[in-house]
Structure 1
Amino acid sequence: MSRFPRTGPDQEALVGGIAHWPISEEVRKFGFNISPDELAVIASNHRMSRLTLHGGVDGISNKIQVSLKKGIKENEIKTREAIYGTNKYTEKPSRSFWKFVWDALHDLTLIILMVCAIVSVVVGLFTEGFPKGMYDGIGIILSIFLVVIVTSVSDYRQSLQFIELDKEKEKIYVHVTRDGIRQKVLIFDVVVGDVVHLSIGDQVPADGLFVSGYALMIDESSLTGESEHVHISHHKPFLRSGTKVVDGSATMLVTAVGMNTEWGKLMSTLTLSHGGEDETPLQVKLNSVATLIGQIGLAFATLTFLVLLGRFFVEKYINGTEWSAKDASTIVNYFAIAVTIIVVAVPEGLPLAVTLSLAFAMKKLMDAQALVRHLSACETMGSASHICTDKTGTLTTNHMAVDKIWLCEVSKSLSSTSDTVKELHSAIPRNAISVLLQCIFENTSSEVVRGKDGKKTVLGSPTEIALLEFGLKLEDFGGDQYQKNEKVKVEPFNSEKKMMSVVISVHGGYRVFCKGASEIILGMCDKILDKEGNIIPMSQNQSKEILSIINEFASEALRTLCVAFRDLDAFDSREAIPTSRYTLIAVVGIKDPVRPGVKESVKTCMDAGIMVHMITGDNINTAKAIAKECGILTDDGIAIEGPVFRSKSPEELKELMPKIQVMARSSPLDKLMFVEVWKDMFNKVVAVTGDGTNDAPALNRADIGVAMGISGTEVAKESADVIVLDDNFSTIVHVVRWGRAVYVNIQKFVQFQLTVNIVALIINFFSACIIGSAPLTAVQLLWVNMIMDTLGALALATEPPHEELMESPPVKKDDNLITKTMWRNIIGQSLYQLVVLGVLVFCGKKIFNLTGTNADATLNTLIFNSFVFCQLFNEINSREMEKINVFEGIFRNWIFIGIITGTVIFQVIIIEFLGTFANTVPQSWKLWLVSIIIGSISMIIAVILKCVPDELLKLKPSIVLPKDYVPLPDGPDGV
């Protein structure tokens, strides 16, 4: 909040009938002549009368000591933050570790167990005295404590990861002018007095006032809820934080930041905090599975308790023994076992495993330059069957340079060396060079700035940078020095018009410059510059020749654009800029090399059953050349133009879609339609990449929207699920790989947990029915539950992806989570464990010749130890559901190794040192060896199970083509 409390305006300080907040001595001391509250009110409340009273934007800039041309001085930043506040918002503190402990203690089954433990302690004290009577109850309490601590630590660490990822999401950069130099700063570093540059797709970083600009349209729906865009100009100059630029460009003067802005006030009412989000689709699916298993577990637990209680009553009746306090302790223990069976049966680790796996994947993807904004996007990306990608910056490096130019009927190849530019200058008439430079420097949304070292640098979009850098080189070799003229009207570039136009006042008249898509600009021209630089009519043959030049450039994978001009005697800024009778100046070919590794990444996608489509606004020949170089356009595929695609009927699209690999000259609506057809007509999971404001509809409609972190606008990023920080297609493949790893890791965990559930439920139930006691006590079952749920989730949900993941087709939406392969492994392992443990329960004493008073305790400890080692070895088996070599890459996952090692160490401590609390007795080395051998045999069982052919399981392939599917040949009309 502001450092100065809002006590209301000073009623004595009236100027023109309008009250003002008083200016404190601290504000005056630093030379400022307006209070923070006064500044905040002007922009947030749209107070035009107050603004006029202060002398408009110029008056405000004087009162806060800032030059609208040079911006603030770097050495003033700390002072301005001290007086007017920082551009940060107050947030609700993140949850502490003890809050997670408190939440974990609220688990109903744990509460019931705690009650059982307390009752057990009380009864034990009456029957067996102190301290022996307390051991059973304290053992349960210690186990509960361990479960709570491990669960809390896991949840707390996960919340810290979400906080870190949330902070990354909030890193937004804006362009400001400081000390006369335009530079890029974090949105949090913006201060009152900053002159901020806004363009299409930017987020307005703070409240402020419009200084200058063209056709600025703002989307204020995030603040007002109104979908209609607002036109901002000198007549309505108020800009508010959190809104988005949807058209035009401008500079603004920041007047309020952080909690003093309208957005800040809204944020304070919401009291938002970091971390967590809604459940993902996979979590929802697993919750239903967990509920079903829990219900089965409840039934088994109830039956087990009733059987144990029934046998107890029958034995009491047959033996005719009297009731004692010890009998109450026995019944309490029976109830504790039943409740613990429920704890083991309810697989709360399933949703936890999803969250852990996704959080782990999100952290790793951040290291790989991909910021996952929504948790569900990671798992959905693993099911993607189609990726619709941009060309520029995603498949290419986005480091553009002018490579070829056609000017005055001369075609020249250029290079980065100055000699080539010099040759071009000497070969072209001076007046043609002059009008070309004028077009380059006047008709641009970018800016040439001088750094602190005096060197010229260009800020703007890659295409603009390429043109301006070329213009600077040409200017250095004798071109007329660029003289700025008054701009009468500007129509910024957008993806619908595919051109940018500007009208300037020159020599008592007006001149219009336009540049944009080659075919569009060429269609607007009826004149060209000849070899002497004179304006001559364009003949039909010349038009065809220029079109062939454009196609020649495009076939060499160059992005082509045309520049043209037209002189006007008169022009009214309220008029539309003309779209005909232009003179063509030049055709420019801009080179944007394909990124290294893109071809391999595309092949990886295709091998994984993922179709890659390139959707671009470029010329179709350019698009085809780049697509072939990237491996996207194959011999069987086709390229189509947006208008042609748009004209197709649903029946035609149904046949055409499987073959479309490239769409050129596409509009945002073409991209949206392409996504909708795949989703609605073919029920596919579609990922879309985008960087512009107009890509937002397609990004929203796709199953996974992927925005570019470098070239992407804030509107695109806000609409996306994933932000690729390096704008690289290979990074998108990383996201797919990790998405698949998440899904497979969850399947591994489900397979592991269901095996434990089945064995624990059945062995305790049948033991209770047949021998009248459960071999696994409450404390032991709680330990097994922790191995199975929290530790098992950590171990299996953090397995990194391997290359084989990208050799199988994507999982379809309606595929079952538990596959027949998984059921084979679950049933096979469960049968083995049940047979072995059943033999130990009923024949163990005889097999190992156990006699004496300690025989039952020794046998039960052996059963418990063998059961735990079966789970440990089966956890290793679960690393691979189909591959025999389960040890591949195991040492790369230190979390898995650590958990297995830690579990073994703690198991030894439980058996050898905590027997009083865990109902165990120390084992001889022979019995330890027996337990380990029994557990390790499960690995041999796993190999045998994996050798069962898929045909015997009647597994269906994931992708089946229709019987009537026939590949289509290339068609006409741009197809």
Structure 2
Amino acid sequence: MWFSKSIEEVLKELKVDPKQGLSDAEAKARLEKYGPNILKGKAKKSIFRMLVEQLQDWLIYVLIAAVVITLFMGEYVDAVIILVVIILNAVLGVVQEVKAGNAIEALQKIASPKALVRRGGVVKEVGSESVVPGDVLVLDAGRFIAADLRLIESANLQIEESALTGESVPSSKDATLTHTDPQTPVGDRANSAFMSTLVTYGRGLGVVIGTGMDTEVGKIAKIIDTEEESQTPLEVRLEKLGKTLGKLAIGICVLIFGVAMLQGRDLAEMFLISVSLAVASIPEGLAAIVAIVLSIGVTSMSRHNAIIRRLPAVETLGSVNIICSDKTGTLTQNKMTVIQYFSTAGEVTVGREKRNGATEDAKLLARAMVLCSDATYEDGEATGDPTEIALLLFADDLGLERKALNAANKRVGEFAFDSDRKLMSTLNEENGRFTVYTKGAIDNLLNISTHVLEHGQVVPLTDAHKQQFYAATDNMSGKALRTLGVAYRPVDSVIGTSEMEKDLILLGMVGMIDPPRIEVKASVEKARNAGITSMMITGDHKNTAYAIAHELGIAENISQAITGQEIDAFTEQAFSEKVSGFRVFARVSPEHKVKIVRALKAHGNIVSMTGDGVNDAPSLNAADIGVAMGITGTDVAKSASDMILTDDNFATIVSAIEQGRNIYNNIRKAVIFLLTCNLGEVVAMFMTLLIGWEAPLIATQLLWINLITDSLPAVALGMDPGDPDVMQEKPRDPEESFFAGGAGIRAVGGGLLIGGLTILAFWFGYYEHGYSPFDDVVPVDTLENARTLAFMTLVACQLFYSLAMRNPVKSIFRIGVFSNKYLLGAILLGLVLQLVVIGIPFMQEAFNLQMLDVQGWVMVLFLGLVPLLINELFKIFLRVRQRKALA
């Protein structure tokens, strides 16, 4: 039992030096021996199982019943065609499910937790699956633990183990303990840490003693499947729409069958036609279209640095009208650099090229900053907070030997940073002498310091000294510099955390800057044009935050900035009334972030909020779209988010909103196209049968048309390239009807037009042979000719009309005829398949078709282009009306 062994025994048995960790070669060898550090999940569905599930649908049951009936009737060709349609639909569904599953797996791999591991003496971040027994893991607040560990160092370490023990209160850890009882329960093993638990406070080191299924979680977890299968709000809406339309379509088909009975038609033939029309008119492809477009869109977004964790976020993105963003790393480059430092001797500018002339006060200040830090920086590779990394580089600027300094000053205690104190303290021992070093917000340090170092002498801290520091802080903040102070205190022995931050000696402070990202200003302007307000929420000083916000175009004047302290002075109602007038929220705590989100949402805003820390989880949950940082973000923040930015860049949020809008629009245009086509089929069948004509299409023809229009142009429309002007529009109202903006009128109008043209083509098929659809006796070849014309015209109308569906206002020439190659391919393939059906003799016979004459082909081409041409003319009218409205 590892928990019953001393640290030395564990390290010896695992053959690892905690200061060096495993070598890369040894880690690779152990990975081959023990396997990847993953839990075995449920087995993937087999292709056969997926195929069976695709057949478990009531529409399919109706078709299967039709197959059985047609076989009894001796209509073997019809039975085979219907069966082929069933199988093709099922196969397409399986292909889609496999592709969607692969996309989700790829995203899960990108978003998998990381672990800080020491290998070859260097701390690096690796994927948790590559962690092996013997690895030395670095633990810090907000990080999920990647494997089971025997702790070898701990400093105020607390771990939340509810994932394993069910105990919600974090457990305190002590690496020095050894449990002699081999029956010690998991929850009582204070010297151990376990996979999937969360570090909530402090820091520590642990050596890996178990990975994968050999961990405590692995022993009890039969299945860990974090991806919940749930429908998005859009899918729910479409499912309801599909059911409503389905009931309507079935009602129409029952009516058609009833009319046929009254008219004395062949009931067997009319049964097949009614069933086929029901299947053709019910948009059962809606769910598949949504799933395919979402999976394609989400995968595309991941390639553009935005990982969508929850599919509803894609739909919500199109409605976002406020982006609340952190400053550091998101709006800025996250490359902090110390530019100035200040002590009682005055303000000094520092540059990396200038290593000489540093005073003893400055070196002592840098020494304190280095010892009160958890960051590392070696050979150009850094880990830790960017602010702390900047302090290490500052020490290098002044010529300090950091390795020797850290080696001579062993850390024996720590009071970890938290957002309430805004301080961090360490207790270091050097040659038997103990010193507390504290760094943090300068105003907090001034409150707990009693002395100051002045010209090498420790003197009492006076009001004059405080005024000096306040003036220096204002001066640096006015230059958009972030300030950080540091103090120290010699002590006689090891003391507790409650005693560390008392009676300190103030050393000085530094001013550092994190320059804005070059691309952010343009993104802020782009968001503004799209009706989206950008807001900055930061823990930085008000003046610093405003200076960056003003430079980026987020804020126009200082009155648009407010601090957390000023927020607290408002009542909740008063703040809610004023919140829309602010653009910069400075010096805020995580609790303030939640308050800001709720106040903004109270006005009906759809809010996106960024976060990276453990304490940001509540605000990420409160926001409509929680956005976690992929680089600097903790595992907790990522788990609470809807979207993860792999580049921590504000511009990526704006880009994701743009992609989200386009994905929603693509789904919408694909669905409206489907409904238009289905309505056209219903109109053509219902009107002709109602007036006593023969059915213009037979059952197999209807099923064929349904298969073509569902699987080809509709999916291609869902893959339409994004509209470059989508960010010129205002955010979409989340309560907006799916048929808003004239989409419903277009669907009805298009369906009536396509149905009417199909009826016209059917009539022309009689006319060119010298007959009328009202005639009682008509040769079979005349009826086949008329149905062939109706069949070809309906498909041509639908295929060409798909081009008009790409944009409700812009012409196909402005969009670019060749800009959606998938759609052109779908149209071309659809036409080729039609030629196959009509041109190959046995296919021609199976579908009761005949080759058209020249006059017939001209009619098909002319009528097929009419819906596209009329739609394009209507767009001209809409564009003229828009220009007049703007004039």
- What band does the TM-score fall into relative to the shorter chain? over 0.9
User: 1:477–1:76: structure 2 CA closer, same or farther, 3 Å change rule?
Assistant: closer
Q: One-letter code of the match for 1:262? A: E
Other-structure match for 1:750: 671
Confirm whether residue 495 of structure 1 aligns to residue 396 of structure 2: no
CA distance in 1 between counterparts of 2:874 and 2:348 reads: 68
Q: 2:546 maps to what in 1? A: 624
Q: Secondary structure in 1 aligned to 2:845?
A: helix
1:538 aligns with 2:474: no
**1:208 CA drift (Å):** 1.1
Give the deviation of 1:205 after TM superposition.
0.6
Q: What is the match of residue 422 of structure 1?
A: 356
Give the structure 2 partner of residue 521 of structure 1. Answer: 445
Deviation at 1:864, TM superposition (A): 1.1
User: Are positions 1:446 and 2:370 aligned together?
Assistant: no
Matched AA of 1:854: D
Distance 2:575 2:779 in 1: 81
Deviation at 1:112, TM superposition (A): 2.5
Rounded Cα–Cα distance in structure 2 between residues aligned with 1:166 and 1:437: 42
Please point out which of 404, 411, 417 is paired with 2:340: 404
| Residue aligned with 2:507, SS | strand
Equivalence for 1:270: 223
Gap change, CA 1:342 and 1:831, over 3 Å in 2: closer
Whichever residue aligns with residue 48 of structure 2, its letter is W
Identify the residue that residue 101 of structure 1 maps to in structure 2. 51
In structure 2, distance between residues paired with 1:887 and 1:758 = 28
**Letter of the structure 1 residue corresponding to residue 376 of structure 2:** E
Tell me if the contact between 2:761 and 2:793 (Cα under 8 Å) persists in the aligned partners.
no
Could you say if the C-alpha distance between residues 543 and 487 of structure 1 is closer, same or farther in structure 2, counting changes exceeding 3 Å?
A: same
1:930 maps to 2:859: yes
Shift in Å, 1:806 = 0.7
Tell me if structure 1 keeps the 8 A contact 2:413–2:494: no
Within-5 A mapping of 1:328-347:
330-347=266-283
Alpha-carbon separation, structure 2, partners of 1:773 and 1:888? 41
Counterpart code for 2:166? G
CA contact (8 A) 2:683 2:752 kept: no
Other-structure match for 2:241: 289
Indicate if the aligned counterparts of 1:501 and 1:577 stay in contact, CA closer than 8 A.
Answer: no
1:252 match: 206
Q: Secondary structure at the match of 1:148?
A: helix
CA distance in 2, matches of 1:791, 1:457: 50
1:17 is aligned to none
Instruction: State the alpha-carbon separation in 2 of the partners of residues 588 and 187 from structure 1.
Output: 36
- Asked whether the 8 Å contact 1:159–1:275 carries over to 2, the reply is no
Instruction: Decide whether the 8 Å contact of 1:876 with 1:886 is kept in 2.
Output: no
Query: Is residue 2:97 matched to residue 1:119?
Result: no
Give the Cα–Cα distance (whole angstroms) in 2 for the partners of residues 629 and 84 of structure 1: 53
CA distance in 2, matches of 1:92, 1:893: 39
Find the counterpart in structure 2 of residue 224 from structure 1. 165
Task: Report the Cα offset of residue 434 of structure 1.
Answer: 4.3
Change (3 A) 1:356 1:376: same
Residue 911 (str. 1) matches residue 838 (str. 2): yes
User: What residue is the counterpart of 1:27 in the other structure?
Assistant: none
**TM-aligned CA deviation for residue 635 of structure 1:** 4.4
Of 563, 570, 585, the residue aligned with 1:648 is 570
Tell me, which stretches of 5 or more residues in structure 2 are unaligned? 178-189, 772-777
Give CA deviations for 1:389-438 in whole Å, capped at 9, x if unaligned. Answer: 10000011111211111134221222332xx2323x1xx2x3x2442233
Is 1:184 matched up with 2:125?
A: yes
Give the letter for the 1:831 counterpart.
L
Which amino acid in the other structure matches residue 463 of structure 1?
T
The one of 522, 542, 554 aligned to 2:477: 554
Instruction: Please tell me the residue identity of whatever aligns with 2:84.
Output: L
Distance 1:669 1:632 in 2: 23
Equivalent in the alignment of 1:375: 311
* Preserved contact between residue 828 and residue 941 of structure 1 (Cα < 8 Å): no
Contact 2:93 2:288 in 1 (8 A): no
Q: Which moved more, 1:204-213 or 1:455-464?
A: 455-464
1:151 — aligned with what? 93
Contact 1:486 1:504 in 2 (8 A): yes
Between the aligned partners of 1:601 and 1:896, the Cα distance in structure 2 is 31
TM-score (norm 2): 0.92
Residue of structure 1 in register with 2:138 after alignment: 197
1:271 is displaced (CA, Å) by 5.9
Counterpart Cα distance in 2 of 1:246 and 1:890: 56
The reply on whether 1:139 has 2:91 as its aligned counterpart is no
Residue 247 of structure 1 aligns to a residue whose secondary structure is strand
Match of 1:602 in 2: 524
Deviation, 1:85, is 4.5
Task: Tell me, in whole angstroms, the C-alpha distance in 2 between the residues paired with 1:303 and 1:266.
Answer: 59
- In structure 2, C-alpha distance between the alignment counterparts of 1:415 and 1:542, rounded to whole Å: 26
Distance between the aligned counterparts of 1:637 and 1:99, measured in 2?
63
2:645 pairs with 688, 706, 724, which one?
A: 724
Measure, in 1, the Cα distance between the counterparts of 2:558 and 2:792: 60
Task: Supply the AA of the counterpart residue of 1:775.
Answer: P
Determine the C-alpha separation between the residues in 2 that align with 1:121 and 1:89.
51
Task: Tell me the equivalent position of 1:861.
Answer: 788
Partner of 2:185: none
Once the two structures are superposed, residues 706-761 of structure 1 have per-residue CA deviations (whole angstroms, 9 ceiling, x without a partner) of 11111111111111111100111111111101111122112212321221122211
Gaps of 5+ in 1: 1-37, 43-50, 125-132, 314-329, 450-454, 958-975
Closer, same or farther in 2 for the Cα pair 1:65/1:510, shift >3 Å? closer
CA gap of 1:89–1:793, structure 2 versus 1, over 3 A, is farther
Query: Is 2:498 the partner of 1:576?
Result: yes
Please tell me whether the aligned partners of residues 116 and 332 of structure 1 are also in contact (alpha carbons under 8 angstroms): no
Q: Is the 8 A contact 1:84 1:256 kept in 2?
A: no
Determine the C-alpha separation between the residues in 2 that align with 1:477 and 1:145: 73
Alignment partners' CA distance in 2, 1:529 and 1:706: 43
Q: Would you say the 8 A contact 2:41–2:224 is kept in 1?
A: yes
* Aligned pair partner of 1:883 in 803, 810, 822: 810
Q: For the structure 1 residues 223 and 481, does the alpha-carbon distance in structure 2 shift closer, same or farther, using more than 3 Å as the test?
A: closer
Q: Distance in 1 between matches of 2:734 and 2:880?
A: 23
* Offset of residue 772 of structure 1: 4.9
1:354 equivalent in alignment to 2:290: yes
Q: What's the % identity of the aligned pairs?
A: 30
Please say which of residues 614-623 and 895-904 is displaced more in the overlay. 895-904
Shift of the 544–825 alpha-carbon distance from structure 1 to 2, 3 Å rule, reads same
Which residue identity is paired with 2:787? N
1:159 and 1:271 map into 2 onto residues whose CA distance is 16
CA distance in 1, matches of 2:431, 2:41: 57
* Aligned 8 A contact 2:696 2:759 in 1: no
Give yes or no for contact 2:96–2:288 (8 Å, CA) kept in 1: no
Alpha-carbon spacing, 1:707–1:928, altered in 2? closer, same or farther (3 Å):
same
Distance 2:627 2:123 in 1: 29
Q: CA deviation at 1:682?
A: 1.4
Per-residue CA shift, 1:89-136, capped at 9, x if unaligned? 223332233333222223322233233234323422xxxxxxxx5322
Counterparts of 1:437 and 1:751, CA distance in 2: 65
Give the whole-Å Cα distance in 1 for the aligned partners of 2:728 and 2:11.
62
Partner secondary structure for residue 891 of structure 1: coil
Q: Deviations over 1:532-563 (max 9, x none)?
A: 32223333233223212112212222221111
Deviations 1:137-185 (A, max 9, x none): 2222233333333333233222222222222222x32222223332332
Amino acid at match of 1:372: I
Q: Indicate the residue corresponding to 1:312 in structure 2.
A: 264
Aligned pair 1:827/2:780, yes or no? Answer: no
Secondary structure class of the residue paired with 1:577: helix
Q: 1:818 aligns with which of 720, 733, 739?
A: 739
- Whether contact under 8 Å (1:217, 1:245) holds in the other structure is yes
CA distance, structure 1, for counterparts of residue 533 and residue 111 of structure 2: 29
* Residue equivalent to 1:19: none
Match of 1:465 among 374, 386, 389: 389
Counterpart code for 2:399: E
Specify the alignment match of 2:25 in structure 1: 75
Residues 1:457 and 1:299: Cα distance change in structure 2 (over 3 Å): closer
Equivalent residues of 2:425, 2:500 under 8 A apart: no
User: 2:322 maps to what in 1?
Assistant: 386
Distance 2:881 2:722 in 1: 28
Q: Supply the distance in 1 between the matched residues of 2:398 and 2:478 (Cα, whole angstroms).
A: 26
